[in-house]
Chains A and B, each alone.
Chain A
Amino acid sequence: MKKSYYLNMGPQHPAMHGVIRLILELEGERIQGCEVEFGYMHRAFEKHAESETWNNVIPWTDRLNYVSPLINNVGYCMAVEKLCGLSVPERGQYIRVIASEVSRLTDHLTCIGASAMELGAFTVFLYMIKAREFLYQCVDKLTGARITTSFTRVGGVKADLPEGFEEQLLSAFAEVRRVLREVDGLLTKNRIFYDRVNGTGRIGREEAIAYGITGPFLRSTGVPYDVRRASPYLVYDRLSFEVPVGGNGDNLDRYLVRMAEMEQSMRIVEQCFRQIPPGAHSLEDRELIEAGVMFDEGKAGKTGQLWKAEAAVDATLEGTGQRCAPHIQGPQRQYALPPKEETYGSIEGLMRHFEIIMWGRGVRPPAGECYQAVEGANGELGFHIYSDGTDRPYRVRCRPPCFFPMAALGKILVGENVADIIPTFGSVNMIAGEFER
């Protein structure tokens, strides 16, 4: 009679990057059962978000998926803007698309590099990280940081594309393409790699849908679901790109899908550079004039500057009197920060800056809730936010895309060998930051 035994894999195992513990029930090398235990990286993102102002949550979102932070920034800001009913100027939308696609590239490069390294292909890891470095330099130039980008703002992005950014990014793409060709030659037809990934970690199409799996993991089973294509956001409906799909839903397909997606991402960015219009990258901030003053000036015929300004609501609702009537929320139509030149150059600009930055003021979306999904590097990244009309989010829920394949992981692994855990876990691309939030 065969006897099964238990083995703990992780949390401190070199292949369990992120910190994850798999409790395996084994019979020889064969996995009979697998339970996933996690939570070692739980940092209470959702609780923290409730204590910060709307704009202050943006740096927290960097730390969700820290391999593609820009997509998180974009997703969160789009959710807030949806609640406020804002639409970002076109140039800002293009910049967001470029930022998202560069992030998708870095994410896929890391995922393939790391999972190939765990299968012994250390060269691939070095090549991929080299290619990622070129992209990180571009991200650095764009946002001022390599990983903790905090690039978007409610109503737009932090800054316009810097000078020389297009040339630098396109030459980085040339490097990435060269690396991808090299890696393709090193891995795709490599006997050792092929045998490790082909037919392992297989999941069926219906099962993947029942588990709520999205992104490259779902596309490897042959379902061409991509949020960018199924419900286009930003300007994705104006860009032509293809959605690569697999057929078997195994690790090989997931590797191939990710490789093909990188080429598509570069195509999207190149189209963006051709289409991007000049103009503002963020919503213009509008001067606030007290309603009474506005009324008097209008009556006196001084209407020249009034059309550009917003009327500030009555002090009894918004100012000191608000404490007496907390249930009444004055309309707040000012969301965007003034340009830095005005903030530092004029007293009015500084006041408008403080109107956004100070606690108790700032961005105040109308009460309500909304859900906004974007295509993250691992699948559908959703933000479900509740506003109670104050300057802080009432609740922020992040739908982490890699939570869902991880829920299926225990089932996928049953019947496979211990050695198959490594490529399967690698292809899930579990990012502890968003998985455990």
Chain B
Amino acid sequence: MSERIREALSGLLRAELLAFEGSGEEAQARVPVSRVRDALIALRDGLGFNMLVDLTACDLLRYPVSHQVGVTDPCQATQGDAWKEKNVTHERFELTYRLLSLDPESGLLGGRFAVKCRVSDGEIGPPSIRDLWPVADWLERELWDMFGVRFSDRPDIRRILLYEEFVGHPLRKDYPINKRQPLLASRLKADGEGISPAELRPKLVP
């Protein structure tokens, strides 16, 4: 299966297939942000990957360069002072689209595959795929919520687990674990609109 995927993807992307590694259920490929959608469409329509199992990300800010996917020679990356350049903002977020090819009749697997891409800090991420798999709608919202990764055709994306007033994106590595959030003003308005907190208390007559 992984050989067929490799052929299909290298036929489609040619030099833009940045990396392809692993075999069997562990196979994965890395593609540029602009071609993620094409690769996913090819996998879904051409190779029967009909289920999006997961869409997640990882902030590679402090991840050792030598172990990242696509570095062909680990020794090269660790030589000299390369390991010191840990705080990279370039291609910082690694997105993983995890796919499953499932035969609805037998319930057996055709295979598993993961497509990866890297998004830099502040860069607009890949195009949304919620029209391909509807569940991607929520998964993309979670990525925005937790990592601040934007999708190119979703300018008004909303948070999903946290509240709208939350400052920052907690799963980024530079978000301190003990950071406190500002206290919010009451959402109840004092002026006419809505109910003011004072109205919810009984009047006291001395």
Residues in chain A within 8 A of chain B (CB atoms): 38-39, 42, 44, 46-48, 50-51, 205-206, 209-212, 222-226, 229-231, 243, 245, 326-328, 367-371, 373, 380, 382, 384, 386, 388-389, 394-395, 397, 399, 403-404, 407-408, 411, 436-437
Contact = CB atoms under 8 A, between A and B. Distances in A.
B64 A212 contact: no
B177 A51 contact: yes
A288 to B, nearest CB: 24
Contacts of B25: 231
Contact of B162 (A39, A226, A368): A39
B58 A395 contact: yes
Contact of B160 (A39, A212, A229, A367): A39
B87 to A, nearest CB: 14
Given A212-B133, A408-B134, 7 more contacts: A39-B161, A46-B171, A211-B133, A327-B83, A384-B54, A386-B58, A436-B161
Interface string B32-68: 0000000000000000001111101011001110110
B138 A407 contact: yes
Interface hub of B62, B161, B177 (most chain A Cβ within 10 A): B161
A223 B160 contact: no
Contacts of A399: 53-54, 56
Interface stretch (B1-9, B98-106, B184-192): B98-106
A15 B105 CA distance: 35
Interface of B: 25-26, 50-54, 56, 58-59, 62-64, 66-67, 78, 83, 96, 98, 102, 104, 106-109, 114, 133-135, 137-138, 146, 159-163, 170-171, 175, 177
B108 A230 contact: yes
B107 A408 contact: no
Given A47-B171, A212-B51, A399-B53, A388 B104 contact: no
Contact of A404 (B64, B135, B146): B135
Contacts of A386: 58, 63
B142 to A, nearest CB: 9
Nearest to B160: A39
Contacts of B133: 210-212
A42 B162 CA distance: 8
Contacts of A212: 51-54, 133, 135
Contact of A209 (B50, B62, B159): B50
Contacts of B109: 230-231
A407 B162 contact: no
| Top 8 closest pairs, chain A to chain B, by CB | A224-B107, A327-B83, A367-B67, A225-B107, A39-B161, A42-B161, A397-B56, A230-B109
Contacts of A394: 58, 62-63
A408 B138 CA distance: 10
B160 A224 contact: no
A390 to B, nearest CB: 9
Nearest to B58: A395
Contacts of B67: 367-368, 388-389
A376 to B, nearest CB: 13
Nearest to A371: B98
Contact of B104 (A223, A229, A371, A404): A223
Nearest to B83: A327
A222, A229, A394 pick with most chain B CB within 10 angstroms: A394
Contacts of B171: 46-47, 395
A369 B30 CA distance: 14
Contacts of A367: 64, 66-67
Nearest to B99: A212
Contact of A395 (B59, B114, B137): B59
Contacts of A388: 62-64, 67
Which of A327, A367, A408 has the largest count of B CB atoms less than 10 A from its CB? A327
Contacts of A369: 58
A245 B104 CA distance: 12
Most buried by A among B104, B106, B170: B104
A205 B104 contact: yes
A146 B132 CA distance: 42
Nearest to A206: B104
Given A39-B162, A386-B63, A243 B107 contact: yes
Given A367-B67, A368-B67, A371-B114, A210 B135 contact: yes
A369 B98 CA distance: 13
Nearest to B162: A39
B107 A384 contact: no
Contact of A327 (B64, B96, B162): B64
A39 B163 contact: yes
24 contacts: A39-B161, A42-B162, A47-B171, A209-B50, A210-B50, A210-B134, A211-B135, A212-B51, A223-B104, A223-B107, A225-B107, A229-B107, A327-B66, A373-B53, A380-B53, A384-B56, A386-B63, A388-B62, A388-B67, A394-B63, A395-B58, A395-B171, A407-B137, A411-B134
A411 B175 CA distance: 35
Contact of A230 (B54, B78, B107): B107
B138 A209 contact: no
Nearest to A42: B161
B180 to A, nearest CB: 13
